[in-house]
Structure 1
Amino acid sequence: MARIGYARVSTTDQDLDIQYARLKAEGCEIVRAEKVSGVSREGRGELATVIEFLRPGDELVVSRLDRLGRDTRDVLNIIHDCEQRGAFVTVLDPHVTTRGEMGHLVLTVLGMVAQMERRFIRERQREGIERAKSAGQYKGGKVRIDHENIRKLFASGVGITAIAKEIGCSRMQVYRVLNASNA
């Protein structure tokens, strides 16, 4: 029986150290981590690896439920996939586990709250952007990666994976920049 930790942050400029340390302190022998959005399961290779690695009696541990996902259906599907492998899911804050029936109920409710919170955040963000636009103060989001460098590297024959590693972003971001250039 293994305790396997999963840590996630949404952007490359965020830090995984706190989650990683907490999962290690909780006895997770293995901790897999990634910097990718939790909006959907797409592009979350480390999570897929963890789930594939789970064996009967193992436990997937996350610091908070929103580290698994922001959508109730995704969270419940992830939990279902773990259970299909005979494994359990434990959330540290608040401490909830799927070892009992009550844990399933609590995790379902928490998943719904996380999804609702995400909708509220998007709505507040949209309202703030609209106010800034009407006041002539909106300049758009902060550019986190060097688009020009990505285009130059690609034009010189460097592969997508190598570009992503050099720039410090995901392959999907490289594809987005290149696709926007071709539009």
Structure 2
Amino acid sequence: MTQIGYARVSSSGQCTRVQLEALEAAGCEIVREEKASGTSTQKRPELQSIMDFIRQGDTLVVTRIDRLARSISDLQDIMKTLKSKGASLRATEQPIDTTSAAGKAFVDMLGVFAEFETNLRKERQMEGIAKAKVAGVYKGRKPSVDADAIKRLTEEGMGASDIAKRMGIGRSSVYRALR
């Protein structure tokens, strides 16, 4: 029976030190950490490594559920995988222990709140963008492709593949600029 710790922060500017200390104090023999968004389990190789490695009797330990997943569906997928492997989940800062019925119910409730928080954040972001657009402040991302140069090279008789190579862009970007 191994306790495997998992620490996650969303961006490279954040630090996992506090989580790592808590996981080590909780007796985790193996600790994995990564800096990636929690809105999806995709592009989280350390979490995937744990899910592949974890065995019967092992416990996945996190400081809080939102460090593991920010959507109820991802959390439920993780829980199904743990259950199928005979492993459990525990959080150091929340009364979660999936070996009990109350612990399982509490995990689901926390997952719902984590997803709710993510959705509220997205709504606020979209409201801010809408206000900025009305004020003329938000203009979107600057174009990364020089459409005039592409048109000029096309008029000179150069093909899409050659233009893409010369400009260091994808051929589809050439076609988009020509539309």
Pick the TM interval, shorter chain: 0.7 to 0.9
Q: 1:120 to 1:43 in 2, by over 3 A?
A: same
The reply on whether 1:26 has 2:26 as its aligned counterpart is: yes
Q: 1:107 to 1:181 in 2, by over 3 A?
A: farther
CA distance in 2, matches of 1:10, 1:99: 29
The reply on whether 1:72 has 2:64 as its aligned counterpart is: no
Quick one: which amino acid aligns to residue 113 of structure 2? V
CA distance in 1, matches of 2:93, 2:140: 34
Q: Deviations over 1:84-123 (max 9, x none)?
A: 1111101222221101111111111111111111111100
Match of 1:112 in 2: 112
Q: Is the 8 A contact 2:7 2:62 kept in 1?
A: yes
Q: Deviations over 1:138-166 (max 9, x none)?
A: 3668xxxxx9xxxxxxxxxxxxxxxxxxx
The structure with the larger Rg is 2
- After TM superposition, the structure 1 = structure 2 runs for residues 118-129 of structure 1, keeping only pairs within 5 Å, are 118-129=118-129
CA distance in 2, matches of 1:108, 1:65: 10
Quick one: which amino acid aligns to residue 115 of structure 1? E
Quick one: which amino acid aligns to residue 54 of structure 1? I
**1:135, CA displacement in angstroms?**
2.2
CA distance in 1, matches of 2:119, 2:93: 21
Structure 2: gaps of 5 or more residues: 145-167, 174-179
**1:13, CA displacement in angstroms?**
2.1
Quick one: which amino acid aligns to residue 105 of structure 1? A
CA distance in 2, matches of 1:82, 1:54: 8
The reply on whether 1:92 has 2:107 as its aligned counterpart is: no
Match of 2:50 in 1: 50
Percent of paired sites with the same residue: 42
**1:43, CA displacement in angstroms?**
1.3
Structure 1: gaps of 5 or more residues: 142-146, 148-179
CA distance in 2, matches of 1:21, 1:10: 18
CA distance in 2, matches of 1:92, 1:27: 11
Match of 1:62 in 2: 62
Match of 2:176 in 1: none
* RMSD across aligned positions (CA): 2.0
Quick one: which amino acid aligns to residue 111 of structure 1? G
TM-score with structure 1 setting the length:
0.73
Match of 2:2 in 1: 2
CA distance in 2, matches of 1:74, 1:21: 26
